[in-house]
Amino acid sequence: MKRQAKMITEHTSKKYLFGVSVMAMALLFFLFSGFLFGGESRSKVQQTPLDEPLNLRGAGNLEVENWVYNPSMKLMVVTLNIDTSTSLLHDKLSFAAQEKEHPRRKIPTTVEYQNDGRYVISIQQVSPSFDVMALDIKKEETNRLTLKEDELHSPKGGEESNELARIYTDQTKVKTDPNLSIKTTLEYELAALSHDVKETKETIKDKEKSILSIDKRLEEMDQKIVELESERLYETKEEKEQTNAQIRELTNEKERLRRDVLEYETAINTLQEKLQLLKEKQRMISS
């Protein structure tokens, strides 16, 4: 009887331990399934950084100034700035949007405003679950004969050579604005001027800070030269030669820093003139 009871107890214990093990494995699977299958359940974040230079395949730089989304209106507005020194400034560009979730769906993409390298592009009828939105930037060919000749020698119909960049926004990262809407040309122009005014003011402040930093450095160098000249009075001939070399080095560095200050001051004067012109243009357009 005791032996039978012992066997029943051992059997019950084994069943209990097996049950606990199964529960523990299920719990661990639940906890770590996100890591094991994360690549399948969640896509990698694809977001082009704002206000950072993006090379347009050797044709200059572009910056994404803003990318905003209004879910209720299924609308996106992208603001781009193309470097004014690039050859693309006078070329006609085209833009095409594509959703990751619906790559074959044609999405209305319109240039709402364009001036001096700034483009405002609207993307409409955006799907609620777009996941990632891509915007292709291409240079349009003005000579169709040249394009057809290129197509004969290109496996992709000549399109690859015209594509300048592809930028992205991720549904988990894009900035949302429930009040976003398509504005008038005048409103976009005023917004562009406001951006330029703000950017010019920030550049002036940065250069003024650089001048203050150099002035402080010059004061420290002057003090160091005075100290070296005082120490030189009690040095040996060999020590004096070393001290003189330090003084010459500091003097040359001071001259270089003074030239930098002059360049900053000249740049500030030019920027202040630009700022006045921008403000005057703002007043003229607003009135």
Q: pLDDT by residue (tens digit) across 198-233?
A: 999 999 999 999 999 999 999 999 999 999 999 999
Residue 29 lies in a domain: no
Residue 259 lies in a domain: yes
Local structure of 126: helix, strand or coil = coil
Residue 47 lies in a domain: no
> What is the span of the domain harbouring residue 121?
54-181
Residue of higher predicted confidence among 265 and 91: 265
Mean pLDDT across 10-33? 47
Whether 237 and 172 map to the same domain: the answer is: no
Q: What is the pLDDT of residues 93-116, one digit of tens each?
A: 899 999 998 888 999 999 999 988
Whether 60 and 160 map to the same domain: the answer is: yes
Distance CA 65, CA 50 (A): 6
Q: Is residue 132 very low, low, confident or very high in pLDDT (cuts 50, 70, 90)?
A: very high
Residue of higher predicted confidence among 44 and 176: 176
Domain boundary among 181, 203, 220: 181
Q: What is the model's pLDDT at position 19? A: 53
State the alpha helices, DSSP H only, in the chain: 2-36, 38-41, 144-153, 185-232, 237-286
Task: Give burial (CB, 10 Å; 0-12/13-18/19+) of 144.
Answer: exposed
Strand partners, 118: 81, 115
Whether 194 and 176 map to the same domain: the answer is: no
> How many CA atoms lie less than 13 Å away from 134 in the CB half-sphere?
15
Q: What is the model's pLDDT at position 286? A: 86
Distance CA 45, CA 172 (A): 8
Q: What is the model's pLDDT at position 25? A: 53
Whether 231 and 271 map to the same domain: the answer is: yes
CATH number at residue 147: 2.60.40.10
Q: What is the model's pLDDT at position 41? A: 42
Residue 8 lies in a domain: no
Domain boundary among 181, 197, 230: 181
Domain boundary among 135, 159, 181: 181
Q: How far is CA 53 from CA 34, 60, 131, 249, in A?
A: 35, 9, 24, 37
Whether 85 and 174 map to the same domain: the answer is: yes
Q: Is residue 61 very low, low, confident or very high in pLDDT (cuts 50, 70, 90)?
A: confident
**Count of the separate structural domains present in the chain:** 2
Whether 84 and 153 map to the same domain: the answer is: yes
Distance CA 109, CA 15 (A): 64
pTM over 0.75: no
Whether 176 and 225 map to the same domain: the answer is: no
Compute CA 203 distance to the chain's CA centroid, rounded to the nearest angstrom: 18
Whether 96 and 168 map to the same domain: the answer is: yes
Residue of higher predicted confidence among 34 and 113: 113
Residue 121 lies in a domain: yes
Residue of higher predicted confidence among 140 and 180: 180
